[in-house]
Amino acid sequence: MKNILVIQGGGRPNGNTSQLADAFLKGALEAGHKTEKISLNNFEVKGCIGCNACRYGKPCIQKDDFNKIVPKIKEADLLVFASPLLFWTISSKLKAFIERFYCIAEEDPNPPYGRYERYPVKDAALLMTSADNFFWTYEQAVSYYKFAVINYMGFKDKGMLLAGGCGDTNGRPQIDKTDHLQKAYEFGKNIYKE
């Protein structure tokens, strides 16, 4: 059994991204994993200000909700980042959340890739939704995820579900007219099957 935490970076409460995350969680729960979803719509998480006051074991000095979420991050085996595609990348809420991982980094005397710290080793996955479904729709978002979360922070990639073609941008979710919810359910159910 794994501890799976889904961080939903915005989107409407019952929108495409929320439905995709819920389908993933349903599959993971049925597979016997412990699951939780946090919507950043319900938390204030500011972006990192680069003050370095948090270095190596100290909490972030910003007075918002991130420090409340840190214990959940540390307990999780898998962090699933869920976001609607906004301006061709992840939401600003999710990016601010990822930036704040800086305060949970530890000193590393031999850092790889030129970084100055090491992050807790976690598994990671990406869930995204969009109205568009071009061959390049997710290029910037996937690049950020792979570079920042996988290559830089060193998380282990467990996969992505990029759910394009979920309707137009008029605010009415249409993901239920696609096969993405079934794919998300299977992704969650099978993510730790060998």
Where residue 113 falls among pLDDT bands split at 50, 70, 90? low
Question: What are the distances in angstroms from CA 131 to CA 108, 135, 151?
Answer: 42, 13, 28
pTM metric for this prediction: 0.94
Which amino acid would we find at residue 176? Answer: D
Section 65-82 average pLDDT: 96
- The answer, yes or no, to whether residue 30 has pLDDT greater than 70, is yes
